[in-house]
Amino acid sequence: MKFKKNIALSDSGFIFDPTTGDSFNTNPVGLEIVQMLKQDNTPQEISAYFLKNYAVDESTFEKDLYDFINMLSKFKLTEHNEKEKN
């Protein structure tokens, strides 16, 4: 699972997908996750970062991250590479 490279992010949490013309809005935590995904961080790395820096427990964050990544995929903001599919 990877965040699509051509997607534009702005500091205000505005996300624009030039392929589809769709735009989205995310909150600061969401923005930070998207930025990390864009830099090819794995979900494990993202978890570790958030648990270290934010007041959140592991199970809560795991649930939220899973749900959020699911939404990204629903909105077609991610792409799956061939390896993962197999």
Partner 1 sequence: MIKAQYERPIIQRLNVGLMNKYGTKTEFNPVTHIDGNAVKELMETYGSPLFVLSEKTIRQTYKDATRAFKTRYPKVQFAWSYKTNYINAVCNVFHQEGSWAEVVSGFEYLKALHNNVPGDKIIFNGPDKKEVDLKLAIEHGSLIHIDHLDELYMIKELVAGGTKRPRVAIRVNMDTGIYPMWDRFGFNYEDGQAWDAINKIMLSGQMDLVGLHCHIGTFMLTPNAYGVAASKLSQLALSVMKKFKKKIEYIDLGGGFASKNTLKGSYIQGIDVSPTFDQYAEAISTSILNAGFTEDSLPLLILESGRALIDEAGYLLGSVISNKRLSDGRRATILDFGVNILFTSFWYDHKISPAQHFGQYSEDTVLYGPLCMNIDVVREHISFPPLKKDDQVVVHTVGAYNMTQWMQFIAMRPAVIMIDMDEKPHLIRKRETINSIQDEEVMPLYLEKFKIS
Partner 2 sequence: MKKKKISVAVSGLNAIDSPGPGISVIRSLRESKYFDVRIIGLSYETLEPGLYMHDLVDKAYQLPLPSAGMDVLYARLQYINSIEKLDLIIPNFDAELFNFIKLAPKLKAELKINTFLPTLDQFEARHKVNLADFGKKHKIKVPKSKTIHTIKEVLALKSEFTYPLVVKGKFYDATVAYSVDQAISAFHKITSKWGLPIIIQEFVTGQEVNVTAIGDGKGNTMGAVPMRKMYITDKGKAWSGISIDDPKLLKMTTKLISSTKWKGGMELEIVKTEKEEYYLIEINPRFPAWVYLAVGCGQNHPEALVRMALKQDVKPFQKYVAGTLFVRYSYDMIVSLKEFETISTLGEL
Q: Which residues bind partner 1 (CB under 8 A)?
A: 15, 22-30, 33-34, 50, 53-56, 60-61, 63-65, 67-68, 70-72, 74-75
Q: Which is nearer to partner 2, 13 or 43 (CB)?
A: 13
Residues in Cβ contact with 38 at an 8 Å cutoff, skipping those fewer than 6 apart: 3, 5, 7, 9
HSE on the CB side for 62, CA within 13 Å?
A: 4
Contact of 34 with 12, CB cutoff 8 Å: no
Min separation Cβ 80 and partner 1, Å = 18
Binding residues vs partner 2 (CB under 8 A): 8, 10, 12-14, 16, 23, 25
